[in-house]
Structures are given as structure tokens and as C-alpha cells.
Amino acid sequence: MENLWIAMIMGALILVASMASVELGISVALIEIVLGVAAGNWLGLHTTPWIDFLASF
């Protein structure tokens, strides 16, 4: 169940990053990096085995 919550939060952060990118005119990659760092530090998100698998490509 925890994997589902992590995936949902990450999906929401990606959606927010893409919407902010359109509004602010900043690269979505930069916004995703900032949101990822914030989520890792403040929300305590951590990687799961399936995220590590996808990141290995």
C-alpha cells in the first residue's frame, strides 16, 4: 500500500511541475528537481525497488 501512496504523490508532483512550467516558462526538469528535493526532505519520500529499476535504464 505504501508503494501506491508514493506513486500517487510522485504523480501529483509531476503534474504540478508541468503546470508550473507552462505558467512560469521555466523548464519542467528544473521544477521537477526542486520539487523532488523538497518532497524527499520535507515529506520523507524515499525510493522503492520499482523506482530504482526504472532509474537504471
- Residue 18: per-residue pLDDT: 94
- What secondary structure, in 3-state letters, does 1-26 show? CHHHHHHHHHHHHHHHHHHHHHHHCC
Mind listing the pLDDT tens digit for each residue in 7-53?
A: 898 899 999 999 999 999 999 999 999 998 998 899 888 888 888 89
- Residue 3: per-residue pLDDT: 81
DSSP string, 32-44: HHHHHHHIIIII-
